[in-house]
Structure 1
Amino acid sequence: MHQDDTEHPLSGGNASAGVVRIGDTVRRPAGPWTPAVHALLTHLHDVGFRAAPRPLGIDEQGREVLTFVPGEVVWPHRFALVEPVEHLARVARLVREFHDAVQGFTPPPDARWQTLVPAEGAEIVAHQDLAPWNLVTDGENGWAFIDWDTAAPGSRLWDVAYAIRGFVPLSAHPDWRRTDAAARLRVFADAYGLDEAERRELVPMLGRRARAMHDFLRDSRARGDQPWATLWDEGHGNAWREDAEYIEAREESWAQALL
């Protein structure tokens, strides 16, 4: 049977230009970081972590080829999928499973990473963008994180702080601000398995992680780097700053929730 080779553009996320689906594969623009990212994804697959696409090489147009992950992206229209606390806990466990799986990964000696935001710590290769816009789910069975092209050395807590901001969420926006944010933070921390010392370290990191995104978008705008400059112009930088201020003003509440 002839496989359909029609290209279907894929949207979602904030930097999806040039991403297409062909059959059961996804083709994305490659970069200097692609070999290292493919080595990471191959390692994850080899050790049994299935919540990520598998790399299939480079096509004749120089694009990276990955297995297509079926389902829907959670953000923004399917956030209800992670609304129940048991599903929020499942996200946290998935993040922990990734961090445990990546622990044994040794990057290639010539690895180059697309480091957008300087990370605190470097004990693992972190995803760096674990967020609802990069979680694909088909409902109950398949849950997977996509868009690994900004993976780079970082820390577990740096990834966790970012994920919590998006999945709890910890948001200043009236449409997303939650009265149960502290309780959901506790659910995530418990499901991930943070110990007492990690909980203490996490609380001030939550605000710093959000501010790091604001600063990255601000500096990218000053340099004219795309697509980040456009995101700044669209107000994403202000959103990250407002979230950082919201998070920092409530540090005592987060700390109490994590006791």
Structure 2
Amino acid sequence: MDHGQEQRLPGGNVSGGVVRVGDTVRRPAGPWTPAVHALLTHLYDVGFRAAPRPLGIDEQGREVLTYVPGHTVWPDRFALLASEAGLVRVARLIREFHDAVQGFTPPPDAQWQVLVPAEGADIIAHHDLAPWNLVVDGENAWTFIDWDTAAPGSRLWDVAYAAHGFLPLSANPQWQRADSAARLRVFADAYGLDEAQRRALAPLLARRCEAMYAFLRVQAARGTEPWATLWAEGHGETWRSDAEYTQQREDRWEHALLDG
């Protein structure tokens, strides 16, 4: 690829688009970009390699990040997570991120793009740890992308969202699994949740889905894109149904998390 040639990258909900230029990715910047770049620089400096590295701002005012080779897990490569080994790997990767970010001190003037306010704020969380933001390069590197909505949050807020997507916990019969409770236990064990965290996680699973539904409903009513389009496409109903499905099985999740 010519260094100056722009290649539009598929997927994502970023207004203005995301393009690849050589070994870099260019994305629209915002008031949150300096804080996100400080976060990504910290992660790189402490040895966490499952995130792109920031390279500044280009002449068009776009943020510049290292290009991550590979393909997103969702939807065509979700089978990678069907095995216990794949689920363990992603849970440990999330734990590595949370441990790496624990020592991060945000800039004093940090601004964050907060879409869904979190319950708790013990770390700077990713807020969108999901199969559509996990890039895999064969059996080699697994990398989380799309850090622009990183913001104050909690470990469990990230874990609850990740469990929904990676297990998955879905009302859609196409994605439901008979072993979802057992997979939740594997995920929690691999992450290393303690007993108090496990007790808190069981009811949080449904509330995290409800928070996504409420966010999309409000943004759709305001006509805010791309959320209004996602609502029209049925994503709001998906989150509502998943919240109901997950809440109805809270006892099952708690039993799996605490008793195995």
Q: TM bucket by the smaller chain?
A: over 0.9
Report how far residue 75 of structure 1 moved.
0.6
Q: Which residue of 2 aligns with 1:152?
A: 151
- Give the whole-Å Cα distance in 2 for the aligned partners of 1:16 and 1:204: 34
State the match for 1:63 in structure 2: 62
Q: Aligned ranges for residues 94-243 of structure 1 at < 5 Å?
A: 94-243=93-242
Deviation at residue 77 of structure 1 after TM alignment? 1.2
Once residues 47 and 54 of structure 1 are traced to their aligned partners in structure 2, the CA distance between those partners, rounded to angstroms, is: 12
CA apart distance, 1:174: 1.3
C-alpha deviations, 1:207-230, integer Å up to 9, x for none? 000000000000001111110111
Distance change >3 Å, CA 46–CA 154, structure 1 → 2: same
Asked if the contact 1:204–1:248 (Cα under 8 Å) also holds between the matched residues in 2, the reply is yes
DSSP 3-state at the match of 1:69: coil
Find the aligned partners of 1:34 and 1:195 in 2 and give their Cα distance: 34
Distance 1:222 1:115 in 2: 18
Instruction: Check conservation: 2:15, 2:28, Cα contact below 8 A.
Output: no
CA contact (8 A) 1:10 1:16 kept: no
User: Identity of counterpart residues, as a percentage?
Assistant: 75
The 1-side partners of 2:15 and 2:182 are apart by 33
Query: 5+ unaligned residues in a row in structure 1: which ranges?
Result: none
Given that 2:15 and 2:226 are in contact with CA atoms closer than 8 Å, whether structure 1 keeps it comes out as no
| TM-score, normalised via structure 1 length | 0.98
The CA distance in 1 between the partners of 2:238 and 2:12, in whole Å, is 16
C-alpha contact (below 8 Å) 1:12/1:73 kept by paired residues: no
Distance in 2 separating the partners of 1:193 and 1:23? 38
Deviation of residue 4 (structure 1)?
2.6
Q: 1:182/1:103 Cα in 2 relative to 1: closer, same or farther (>3 Å)?
A: same
Contact 1:119-1:153 within 8 A present in 2 as well: yes
The one-letter code sitting in structure 1 at the alignment partner of 2:58 is D
Against the structure 1 CA distance between its residues 216 and 90, is the aligned structure 2 distance closer, same or farther, given a 3 Å change threshold? same
In 2, the alpha carbon distance for the partners of 1:5 and 1:226 equals 30
- 8 Å Cα contact 2:33-2:148 kept in structure 1: yes
**Taking structure 2 as the reference length, what is the TM-score of the superposition?**
0.97
| Equivalent pair of 2:124/2:153 in contact (CA under 8 Å) | yes
RMSD: 1.1
CA distance in 1, matches of 2:71, 2:78: 10
1:250 counterpart residue number: 249
Amino acid at match of 1:145: F
